[in-house]
Amino acid sequence: MKKRVLIFSLSYFPYLVGGAEIAVKEITDRVSDNDIVFDMVTLYAGSSRYERIGNVNVYRVGPHIDIVGNSVPRISYFIKFQYVAFAFFKSLILHHKNKYNFIWSIMASFNGFSALFFKIINPKVPFLLTLQEGDSIEHIKKALGIMHPLYLKIFSKANMIQAISYYLADFARKLGAKCQISIVPNGVNYNFFNERPTAGQMKALTHELGFNPFDTILITTSRLVAKNAIGDIIDSLIYLREDIKLLIIGTGPQEKLLKDKTALLKLENRVTFAGFVPNKEIPLYLHISNIFIRPSISEGFGISFVEAFASSIPVIATPVGGIVDFLKDRETGLFTRVNDPKDIADKVEELLNNEELREEIMKSAREMVKERYNWDIITDKMKNEIFASIRI
């Protein structure tokens, strides 16, 4: 007998997409409708209150979010709290009709609040919580303020937790989770990221971005927020020769601050802000680049690192959060110290000057992705270890 599952996700394809949303789509696309029917409540973006996306019936609730071109709007706390209420009431209506076998919250916080309220009203319906969080416990506590005690109840009410890293499994325990916690990481479409673009495509993009053929390109793909420490990469350029350039993919609240820093350091000709780039175009940007860097202050997992692995470029990262699950120093990447631009520069120089180390790192990282982070493998774990076993 097929199961019915209700997913709570603040954002979803095709309008508001990050690592968590990609994970949901990759997993649900690989699960047959004959096994599980997936419904979802998410924010109202685009033109339709309902649409079928892959194997998910998507119900959009709350106020309309305007999407202009490829821009990704910042969702205010006011809209997020509206989502909590609208998603909760919509979930009750859908459950009355469909009688869900379990509910599934993608991340805690606002998705989790809606799922928590549903669980309180329907205590016999199992509650699966997936943790994709990248912020520290301290940051979340400060951001939620008086809502923090309610946030803790999300963890105590969950019947099963899927954490995408050992760091997040420990995170859940510290916040009061008593249920079973299984670690199933995010994955990557290996062939999609590994396939090398044509020389013409790479040459055209390099020219469009203003690089010349002799430049060494450092790349980072991330939201421009404090925890990702993009400013440290910009600062590292002052220790590196002038033909080493930085390509920044992404948008976020720190964009103006980072552009001001670039101007203050007179690095405008060495730092390129490419803004929002659709996920389907990210491989091309990775393949024209030489080194991937993200010196995170905190990180739940970091799918961008694994995408870089699959694209066969070496990675420099910090040993924080979930990164240590997949990045082994001098095996699959290089570690740099947190908030240390000079050390970032030293690691860049080491990779550029040691071809043997660089090639060994890229080969090991690429093979690890194929063996451990392929979406087919991840989906099998979700089906057999999570979906098949969740119970009250």
Helix/strand/coil (H/E/C) assignment for every residue in 287-350: HCCCEEEECCCCCCCCHHHHHHHHCCCCEEECCCHHHHHCCCECCCEEECCCCCHHHHHHHHHH
pLDDT of 23: 92
The pLDDT, as a whole number, for residue 34 is: 82
**Class of the 3-187+374-387 domain?**
alpha beta
Choose between 4 and 32: higher pLDDT.
4
Q: What is the mean pLDDT of residues 179-183?
A: 96
**What confidence tens digit (pLDDT) does each residue in 32-50 have?**
878 899 999 999 987 789 9
Cis peptide before 213 (omega within 30 of 0): no
Instruction: Name the least confident of 16-30, 65-79, 125-139.
Output: 65-79
Q: pTM for the full model?
A: 0.89
Domain ranges of the chain: 3-187+374-387, 190-372
Confidence of residue 365 (pLDDT cuts 50, 70, 90): very high
Q: Half-sphere exposure (CA, 13 Å, Cβ side) for 16? A: 17
Would the CATH topology of 3-187+374-387 be identical to that of 190-372? yes
Q: What is the pLDDT of residue 82?
A: 93
pLDDT digits (tens, 9 = 90+) for 88-108: 999 999 999 999 999 999 998
**Cross-strand partners of 247:** 219, 272
Cβ burial, residue 29 (10 Å; 0-12/13-18/19+): middle
Residues 53-99: tens digit of each pLDDT: 999 999 999 988 776 554 556 678 788 889 999 999 999 999 999 99
Tokens found for residue 317 = 């990262």
The mean per-residue pLDDT over the stretch 310-333 comes to 96
Band (143; pLDDT cuts 50, 70, 90): confident
**What pLDDT score does 269 carry?**
96
190-372 CATH pick, 1.20.120.10, 3.90.76.10, 3.40.50.2000, 2.70.150.10: 3.40.50.2000
Average pLDDT over residues 330-340: 97
For range 281-303, the mean pLDDT: 95
pLDDT of residue 83: 94
Task: Tell me which residue of 165, 160, 205, 143 sits closest to 19, measured CA to CA.
Answer: 165
Tokens of 166: 């050992």
Please tell me which residue, 73 or 197, carries the higher pLDDT value: 197
Candidates 60, 54, 2; CA nearest to 28 is: 54
User: How many Å apart are CA 170 and CA 177, to the nearest integer?
Assistant: 9
pLDDT confidence of residue 72: 53
